[in-house]
Structure 1
Amino acid sequence: MTTDGFRVLDVKSLTEYIKATPSLASKLGDELDNLEIKEVGDGNLNFVYIIISTSGSLVIKQAVPYIRLIGESWPMTKERSYFEATALKRQHSLSPNHVPEIYHFDRTMSLIGMRYIEPPHIILRKGLIVGVEYPLLAEHMAEFMANTLFFTSLLHLTTTQHKSAVAEFCANVELCRLTEQVVFSDPYKISEFNRWTSPYLDSDAESIRNDKILKLEVAELKSKFCEKAQALIHGDLHTSSVMVTKESTQVIDPEFAFYGPMGFDIGAFIGNLFLSYFAQDGHSNNANNRKTYKAWIMDTVANTWNLFYKKFTSLWDIHKDGPGEAYLHEIYKDMELWSLVKQKFMLDLFHDSLGFAAAKMIRRIVGVAHVEDFESINDVVKRADCERRALDFAKILIKKRRNFNNITDVISTVE
């Protein structure tokens, strides 16, 4: 496939591309004759290659003009790679310990060259499935989200800076529309791409399509997603977009990035932790009932929000008299008023995060793209039971989210 200079690379042509690109060749020590190249793109959209030489390594990610999960019958702009590269550069500058460095970007080829996040890093979702505890995960994710969300918002930026950034990322409309469709629309109607663990969840899927109160809440969340340009969000911050060891956390794949509601990122991550929690019973056995691990997941949910709250409001306090125009210091410098502003902002953000968490959970069970947490449970009856409990919790969360004042109250409702 070749259009406007674009071509899909394979192992042979990728080698030639690297040889012709100094910024990539230099990362491999210019030792290019015996490269080890492995295609590892198990995601829904792109081709991803790991390239290793005797003295260096890197990753190449190439976007193709269709959704890889579906095929060429579902076209998708390859311009998404531009927004991913732009977001990675910005997020790396704001959270360098948790975002890989970009070495090269080729807009014509929709190709990004970046740091190879080396073993023993693995995809977080895979670690959660096998029951690995990551003691620094909540701390690192809270730091990543606090830094990337605060510094790209009007709490820190002028309106001129913010509107300029919003305008640039508005062009990532096609991936935003994909999210609108698969998260906020398809699960609530008959759609050819929807699937679920049938026939066990047939009535559950139908119940979601017929739930008027649920649909009202989802409509409000969709409106926020489409209209609330709060900060530069990752846009797809699930547990397969994070690579981990017990000491390191790296956030990848922000191709869905745009200026949207902060709670969408927070909710996506927390919602996927909840999915992992509900899947644990499907992975338990006589040797390990996973109860201790389930408690760790809930602790991680609580710590993620509480640490985010602490780090985010600390940044806000430090920069309260900076250029950010949302709450000008000369207006809000009264200490009582300042406290009220933060309380209201963070409570609204908390409720947004809970709603988006629930929406992300629902789409992963009755929508188009499912999660390995559940899919790897071989006993279909057991899998359906885990998914049903997750759905029931998500419906409560989305409808009752304004009743919760803290994350402890949320966790206490989890069975």
Structure 2
Amino acid sequence: MSIIKQGIYHPLTETTAIELALNLSIFSEDAKLSCNEIGDGNLNLVFHVVDTHAGKSIIIKQALPYAKVVGESWPLTINRAKIEADALKTFGRIAPDFVPAVYYTDDVLAVTVMEDLSHLLIARTGFINGETYPLISTHLGEYLAKTLFYTSDYGLGPTRKKEQVQQFINPELCKITEDLIFTDPYYDAETNEFEEGLRPFVVALWRDEELQFHVNVLKKTFLTDAEVLLHGDLHTGSIFANNSETKVIDPEFAFYGPAGFDIGQVFANLLFQVIVNDKKRDLFVEHIETVWDVFKNTFTILWETQNKEVLAQSTSFISYNLSKFFADALGFAGCELIRRTIGLAHVADLDGIKDEQTRLAAKRKSLELGGILIKQRKNIKDLGEFIEIVKGKIN
């Protein structure tokens, strides 16, 4: 007798996850399945289901109706699972080499069944453990170019783009971003979390009216510029990699917003390694350079060959757009550096530094560089100037 309740949401267990997997006919009828709940994120259950005889495996991801990082006192819509599944399918059609395959979705259970990527490692974990992933920046540059172009007015056409804007309305998850990235770090909010050794720098940040003005401008851009379908949370914890593959996961924050936001998230999360990894600093600087160069070149080719707007196919207009994307990306990267240092959700790149003085020094650099990128984003004209500023602040 089935123990999965039909038509009713309920959290899966390892037992019911196995039953679901068997009901989907993904495995043979005589499969011997094992299951472990492996989710270590803030919002979801994640089950790893394996046929111990055949070696075949899948991932079952289920949205919880609250944020795990806080508990049931922070309720969340389970509709984010449909947003994520639809985004995975959309990005998978555009850039299949960089997105896990989706096998099944259930909107009622808020479940997505997808390709198992356990032969890869979360990029953040790999970087902290000494991996460098030589192709990750090339892959991410191509992923960004294709997903951001093909979901824009110029890649889709305005009618289909407007339909997708409606499909990916995601107010509850966007509100988390709006609060945690653009609001809470800039005043004494209860969600903020930082070490006492940083307090003088944090208080100075709270009193910096120029910084708050620029953050408000960036927040307005985030709220109003429905340029492209964003992943919405594209940090190195949302990327699986090895030396030959890169896969982007977890787009539950997907919505239509400014193209520079995803680019800036990638910049910032590579910058954390530039800040903390002095032995491989130049390599991670090269990763940042490669992300932008590959993005810019690939996006330009798509713009020139696939553009659905005849009058937009001009050198001056593509230059205008790329300049806007770059400036926005720098500002959003600055916001990410700051919020991951003193906001609710930190990164192991910084928090994992054992020596207190070394850790505090790295966090101060993160705050200082974040502020510079936010304030100076429109004055930094190109990649070379950006990298010089980074090196000058970090060294």
Range class of TM-score, shorter chain = over 0.9
Aligned to 2:305: 318
Does 2:198 align with 1:222?
A: no
Letter in 1 for 2:325: L
CA distance in 2, matches of 1:143, 1:187: 32
Does 2:210 align with 1:213?
A: yes
**Count of matched residue positions in the alignment of Structure 1 and Structure 2:** 385
Letter in 2 for 1:239: T
Letter in 1 for 2:48: I
Q: Structure 1 pair 339/14, CA: closer, same or farther in 2 (3 Å)?
A: same
Q: Match of 1:250, SS?
A: strand
- For residues 367-396 of structure 1, the C-alpha deviation after alignment (integer angstroms, 9 at most, x for no partner) is 000001112112222111111011111111
Aligned to 2:380: 404
Does 2:181 align with 1:183?
A: yes
* CA apart distance, 1:18: 2.1
Letter in 2 for 1:201: L
CA distance in 2, matches of 1:258, 1:332: 24
Letter in 2 for 1:313: T
Letter in 2 for 1:274: L
- For residues 89-119 of structure 1, the C-alpha deviation after alignment (integer angstroms, 9 at most, x for no partner) is 0000000000001001011000100000132
Aligned to 1:301: 288
Q: Structure 1 pair 51/332, CA: closer, same or farther in 2 (3 Å)?
A: closer
The answer to whether the 8 A contact 1:231-1:259 is kept is yes
Aligned to 1:14: 17
CA distance in 2, matches of 1:36, 1:373: 33
Aligned to 2:112: 112
Aligned to 1:378: 354
The answer to whether the 8 A contact 2:17-2:47 is kept is no
Superposition map of 1:26-45 within 5 A:
26=26, 28-32=27-31, 34-45=32-43
Q: Structure 1 pair 104/237, CA: closer, same or farther in 2 (3 Å)?
A: same
- For residues 38-86 of structure 1, the C-alpha deviation after alignment (integer angstroms, 9 at most, x for no partner) is 2221111111111111221100100000001111111111110000000
Residue 279 of structure 1 is aligned with which of 273, 276, 279? Answer: 276
CA distance in 2, matches of 1:3, 1:192: 40
Superposition map of 1:351-370 within 5 A:
351-370=327-346
Q: Match of 1:201, SS?
A: helix
Superposition map of 1:335-354 within 5 A:
338-354=314-330
Q: Structure 1 pair 206/350, CA: closer, same or farther in 2 (3 Å)?
A: same
Letter in 2 for 1:380: E
The answer to whether the 8 A contact 2:151-2:161 is kept is yes
The answer to whether the 8 A contact 1:147-1:312 is kept is yes
Q: Match of 1:143, SS?
A: helix
CA distance in 2, matches of 1:332, 1:132: 41
CA distance in 1, matches of 2:293, 2:20: 46
- For residues 236-261 of structure 1, the C-alpha deviation after alignment (integer angstroms, 9 at most, x for no partner) is 00000000000000000000001111
Gapped regions of structure 1 (runs ≥ 5) = 281-289
Q: Structure 1 pair 31/276, CA: closer, same or farther in 2 (3 Å)?
A: farther
Superposition map of 1:196-211 within 5 A:
196=194, 198-211=195-208
The answer to whether the 8 A contact 1:279-1:387 is kept is no
CA distance in 2, matches of 1:4, 1:376: 43
* CA apart distance, 1:151: 0.4
Superposition map of 1:238-253 within 5 A:
238-253=235-250
Superposition map of 1:253-268 within 5 A:
253-268=250-265
Q: Structure 1 pair 73/340, CA: closer, same or farther in 2 (3 Å)?
A: same
Superposition map of 1:141-160 within 5 A:
141-160=140-159
* CA apart distance, 1:359: 0.6
Letter in 2 for 1:310: N
CA distance in 2, matches of 1:3, 1:412: 58
Aligned to 2:228: 231
CA distance in 2, matches of 1:144, 1:317: 18
Identity of aligned residues (%): 36
The answer to whether the 8 A contact 2:198-2:364 is kept is yes
Aligned to 1:269: 266
CA distance in 2, matches of 1:7, 1:392: 45
The answer to whether the 8 A contact 1:149-1:231 is kept is yes
Aligned to 2:45: 47
Relative to the length of structure 1, the TM-score reads: 0.90
CA distance in 2, matches of 1:189, 1:155: 39
* CA apart distance, 1:31: 4.0
CA distance in 1, matches of 2:229, 2:191: 29
CA distance in 2, matches of 1:411, 1:127: 23
Letter in 2 for 1:47: L
Letter in 2 for 1:190: D
Letter in 1 for 2:242: T
The answer to whether the 8 A contact 1:200-1:381 is kept is no
CA distance in 2, matches of 1:13, 1:151: 38
- For residues 116-151 of structure 1, the C-alpha deviation after alignment (integer angstroms, 9 at most, x for no partner) is 0132x1000011112212111111001111111100
Superposition RMSD on alpha carbons, in Å? Answer: 1.4
- For residues 253-304 of structure 1, the C-alpha deviation after alignment (integer angstroms, 9 at most, x for no partner) is 0000011111000000111111122122xxxxxxxxx42x111000000110
Does 2:188 align with 1:164?
A: no
The answer to whether the 8 A contact 2:211-2:375 is kept is yes
Letter in 2 for 1:48: V
